[in-house]
Protein backbone atom coordinates (compact mmCIF):
# COMPACT_ATOMS: atom_id res chain seq x y z
CA UNK A 1 0.00 0.00 0.00
CA UNK A 2 1.27 3.35 -0.93
CA UNK A 3 1.62 5.62 2.18
CA UNK A 4 2.02 8.72 0.11
CA UNK A 5 -0.87 11.18 0.15
CA UNK A 6 -1.61 14.00 -2.20
CA UNK A 7 -0.73 17.59 -1.26
CA UNK A 8 -4.46 18.41 -1.21
CA UNK A 9 -5.20 15.51 1.17
CA UNK A 10 -2.28 16.52 3.40
CA UNK A 11 -3.59 20.11 3.63
CA UNK A 12 -7.06 18.84 4.48
CA UNK A 13 -5.75 16.57 7.26
CA UNK A 14 -3.57 19.33 8.65
CA UNK A 15 -6.51 21.72 8.72
CA UNK A 16 -8.67 19.17 10.51
CA UNK A 17 -5.90 18.55 13.01
CA UNK A 18 -5.79 22.28 13.66
CA UNK A 19 -9.48 22.17 14.50
CA UNK A 20 -8.83 19.32 16.87
CA UNK A 21 -10.83 16.92 14.71
CA UNK A 22 -8.12 14.52 13.73
CA UNK A 23 -6.11 14.17 16.90
CA UNK A 24 -4.64 10.66 17.31
CA UNK A 25 -6.78 8.68 19.72
CA UNK A 26 -3.85 8.08 22.13
CA UNK A 27 -3.60 11.84 22.71
CA UNK A 28 -7.22 12.14 23.81
CA UNK A 29 -7.29 12.24 27.58
CA UNK A 30 -9.80 10.18 29.47
CA UNK A 31 -10.34 13.21 31.70
CA UNK A 32 -12.62 15.65 29.85
CA UNK A 33 -11.58 18.63 32.03
CA UNK A 34 -7.94 17.87 31.26
CA UNK A 35 -8.82 17.93 27.55
CA UNK A 36 -10.55 21.28 28.03
CA UNK A 37 -7.50 22.67 29.83
CA UNK A 38 -5.21 21.51 27.05
CA UNK A 39 -7.53 23.19 24.54
CA UNK A 40 -7.58 26.38 26.60
CA UNK A 41 -3.81 26.30 27.01
CA UNK A 42 -3.37 26.24 23.24
CA UNK A 43 -5.33 29.53 23.02
CA UNK A 44 -2.88 31.37 25.28
CA UNK A 45 0.17 33.19 23.97
CA UNK A 46 2.43 31.31 26.37
CA UNK A 47 1.73 27.77 27.62
CA UNK A 48 0.78 27.59 31.28
CA UNK A 49 3.34 26.21 33.71
CA UNK A 50 2.51 22.93 35.44
CA UNK A 51 1.26 24.62 38.66
CA UNK A 52 -0.86 27.12 36.74
CA UNK A 53 -2.23 24.34 34.55
CA UNK A 54 -3.27 22.32 37.60
CA UNK A 55 -5.00 25.38 39.08
CA UNK A 56 -6.62 26.18 35.73
CA UNK A 57 -7.94 22.61 35.62
CA UNK A 58 -9.49 22.97 39.10
CA UNK A 59 -10.87 26.41 38.19
CA UNK A 60 -12.31 25.09 34.95
CA UNK A 61 -13.92 22.22 36.82
CA UNK A 62 -15.42 24.85 39.14
CA UNK A 63 -16.74 26.84 36.16
CA UNK A 64 -18.35 23.66 34.84
CA UNK A 65 -19.73 22.81 38.29
CA UNK A 66 -21.21 26.31 38.49
CA UNK A 67 -23.28 25.54 35.40
CA UNK A 68 -24.71 22.44 37.07
CA UNK A 69 -25.26 24.21 40.38
CA UNK A 70 -26.99 27.23 38.92
CA UNK A 71 -29.41 25.01 37.01
CA UNK A 72 -30.80 23.94 40.38
CA UNK A 73 -32.16 27.48 40.84
CA UNK A 74 -35.05 27.79 38.45
CA UNK A 75 -35.73 31.33 37.37
CA UNK A 76 -39.09 32.44 35.99
CA UNK A 77 -39.23 31.35 32.37
CA UNK A 78 -38.32 34.18 30.01
CA UNK A 79 -37.37 36.55 32.85
CA UNK A 80 -35.06 39.40 31.87
CA UNK A 81 -31.53 40.01 33.05
CA UNK A 82 -31.05 43.04 35.29
CA UNK A 83 -29.41 44.95 32.49
CA UNK A 84 -31.14 45.42 29.16
CA UNK A 85 -29.88 47.31 26.19
CA UNK A 86 -30.79 51.00 26.09
CA UNK A 87 -30.31 52.66 22.73
CA UNK A 88 -28.10 55.71 23.03
CA UNK A 89 -29.35 59.05 21.70
CA UNK A 90 -27.09 60.81 19.25
CA UNK A 91 -25.19 63.59 20.96
Partner 1 sequence: MSHIDPFSSLTTLGRALREKKISSMELTQIYLQRLKTLGTEHRAVAELTESLALKQAAMADRRIASGRTKSQLDGIPFGVKDLLATKGIPTRWGSPGHHDQVFNYDATAVSRLQDAGGVLVAKLSMIELAGGGNYNVAGASATGACLSAFDKNRWAGGSSSGSGAATMLGCVGYSLGSETSGSIICPSAFNGATGFRPTYGRVSRYGAMALCWTLDKIGPICRSAEDCGLVLNAIAGPDPKDFSTISDKLQLHRKNGKLRIGLVKESFKQNKAVECEKAYQSAISVYKKLGHEVVDVSIPRMPYGLAVEIIVNAEGASAHEHFIRGERLQMLADVNQVGGLAAALETPATDYLWAMRLRTEALKADSVWDKCDGIFTPVFYHAAVPADLPFDKSFGDMGGSEGPENLLGWPALAFPIGFEAGAPLGGQIIGPAYREDVCYQLAREFQQETKWHRAKPAHA
Interface positions with partner 1 (CB under 8 A): 36-37, 40-41, 43-46, 48-49, 51-60, 62-63, 66-67, 69-70, 73, 75-76, 79-83
3-class SS shares of the chain: helix, strand, coil, % to 5: 55, 0, 45
Distance from C-alpha of 60 to C-alpha of 67, rounded to nearest angstrom: 11
Q: Which is nearer to partner 1, 1 or 91 (CB)?
A: 91
Q: Which is nearer to partner 1, 5 or 52 (CB)?
A: 52
Tell me how far, at minimum, the Cβ of 22 lies from partner 1, in Å. 23
Tell me how far, at minimum, the Cβ of 62 lies from partner 1, in Å. 7
Angstrom CA distances, 68 to 4, 15, 30, 83, stand at 48, 34, 21, 23
Tell me how far, at minimum, the Cβ of 12 lies from partner 1, in Å. 28
DSSP symbol at 11: H
Amino acid sequence: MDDKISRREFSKKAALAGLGLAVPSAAISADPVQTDVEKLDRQLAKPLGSDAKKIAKDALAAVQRNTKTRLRTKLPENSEPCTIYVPARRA
